[in-house]
Amino acid sequence: MSSFTRLLLIFVAIPIVVILIGGLLAGLEGMLEALIFAGFLLVVYLVAALICFILDHRDAGKALLLSAGIILLIGLSTCGIMLGMS
């Protein structure tokens, strides 16, 4: 497994699991907290990706940018659907 794939799995899997478990276990407040966490995490990932690109860590920067997009697509849409159903 390449370093890019390993970084991508780490940067995506851990936050998605935390967001979804937090949203499912704590009810409506947990879903709102999961959305806030996801929004904060996306900003941190984007800033960290820019810093990685500036410091010439291309694999980490690409993994952070791609994982921010995946979290935006999967995590926030799933939390939004769960909020819409409640």
Is residue 80's pLDDT more than 70? Answer: yes
pLDDT tens-digit profile of 4-63?
A: 999 999 999 988 888 888 877 877 788 788 888 888 989 999 999 999 999 999 999 999
Task: Compute φ and ψ for 26, nearest 5 degrees.
Answer: -105, 10
Give CA separation, 11 vs 15, 18, 48, 61, 82, in Å: 7, 12, 12, 11, 23
pLDDT at 21: 84
- What are the structural domain ranges in the chain? 3-85
pLDDT at 86: 66
Q: Which long-range contacts (CB under 8 A, 24 or more apart) does 20-25 make?
A: 20/75, 20/78, 20/79, 23/78, 23/79, 23/82, 24/82
Residue partners of 9: CB distance under 8 A and separation at least 6: none
Q: How far apart are CA 61 and CA 72, in angstroms?
A: 17
